[in-house]
């Protein structure tokens, strides 16, 4: 078991929660494992968590980007192939499943978004399928992919992109861009007036109104991203705790195996539910963006 090579469960869990990070390492940074300090500022892969922290904002979580983009491409290709194989006759199992999914999401969008849903429903479908696939990676055993990569020299690898707040907040930021864009498209200068005259309908208090409205506007995507991250990250930590239990001794194997199965079954519901919540709140925020106070 991969957990057995670490001194304790804390070291094992901390190792698995570090992303494969590529960034700008400042000169003078203390290098990993007491190997000295960085002589120059240069771009490199972080060798440990302290180097990743020293890179600060100028860093990329390569594993999160790779898995998120890869799964996004897979989702688009899967739906594209399903659309190509669709027929007007008796649908196959795949076509039947896709039609049920599309109808389910389309009905939810129509209930929430009171306007033309020609572009909103595809956005909702994309969001749901993408978030679901990223969440689904949490059901892959925690050492199945990272441990072989570690043997090949890749020290860190997190395959569940939604356990990275950069990914979830990045998606939430794009939702904010869509909300602002739709508000400007539908309301024009009325959107600015709405920001300045709500909740107090007087220009004298427009600084207070603007502050309150901007806080409320920014709080929506932040809460959207943090909600998804918090649920997925907590689930990942529990999976790691159960995995560490396998290395505690032969007497703990039945308990660890039972907990692993029970938590995986329960987490199937969490994975689907969190994808649905992210999707439906995205539609709700877009619906609010086109409505006047």
Per the residue annotation, which of 19, 64, 183, 231 is the catalytic one?
A: 231
Residue located via tokens 């106070």: 293
Q: Is 87 a catalytic residue?
A: no
**Residues 51/156, Cβ–Cβ less than 8 Å:** no
Sign of CA dihedral 19, 20, 23, 29: positive
Per the residue annotation, which of 8, 119, 201, 223 is the catalytic one?
A: 223
With 0-12 / 13-18 / 19 or more C-beta atoms within 10 angstroms meaning exposed / middle / buried, residue 124 is buried
Q: Is 107 a catalytic residue?
A: no
**Residues 18/157, Cβ–Cβ less than 8 Å:** no
Q: Is 231 a catalytic residue?
A: yes
Residue 207: how many other CB atoms lie within 10 Å? 9
Per the residue annotation, which of 24, 106, 108, 227 is the catalytic one?
A: 227
From its phi and psi, is residue 28 left (phi > 0), alpha (psi between -120 and 50) or beta?
left
List Cβ neighbours of 199 (8 Å cut-off, separation of 6 or more).
Answer: 209, 212
CA distance 38 to 189: 52
Catalytic residue IDs: 223, 227, 231
């Amino acid at each position: 078991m991969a957990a057995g090579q670490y001194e304790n469960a804390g070291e094992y869990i901390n190792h698995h929660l570090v992303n494969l990070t590529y960034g700008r390492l400042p000169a003078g940074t203390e290098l990993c494992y007491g190997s000295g300090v960085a002589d120059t500022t240069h771009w490199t892969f972080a060798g440990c968590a302290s180097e990743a922290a020293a890179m600060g904002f100028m860093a990329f979580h390569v594993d999160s980007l790779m898995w998120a983009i890869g799964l996004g491409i897979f989702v688009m290709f899967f739906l594209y192939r399903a659309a190509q194989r669709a027929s007007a006759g008796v649908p196959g199992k795949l076509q039947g499943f896709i039609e049920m999914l599309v109808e389910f999401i389309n009905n939810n969008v129509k209930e929430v978004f009171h306007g033309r849903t020609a572009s909103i429903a595809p956005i909702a479908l994309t969001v749901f399928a993408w978030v679901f696939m990223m969440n689904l990676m949490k059901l892959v055993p925690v050492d199945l992919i990272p441990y072989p990569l570690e043997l090949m020299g890749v020290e860190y690898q997190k395959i569940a992109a939604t356990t990275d707040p950069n990914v979830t907040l990045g998606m939430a930021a794009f939702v904010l861009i869509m909300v602002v864009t739709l508000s400007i498209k539908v309301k024009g200068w009325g959107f600015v007036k709405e920001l300045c005259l709500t909740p107090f309908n007087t220009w004298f208090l427009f600084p207070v109104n603007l502050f309150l409205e901007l806080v409320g506007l920014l709080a929506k995507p932040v809460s959207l991203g943090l909600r998804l991250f918090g649920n997925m990250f907590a689930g990942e930590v529990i999976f790691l705790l159960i995995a560490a239990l396998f290395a505690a001794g032969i007497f703990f194997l039945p308990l660890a195996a039972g907990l692993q199965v029970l938590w995986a079954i329960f987490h199937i519901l969490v994975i689907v539910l969190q994808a649905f919540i992210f999707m439906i709140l995205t539609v709700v925020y877009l619906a609010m963006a086109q409505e006047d106070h």
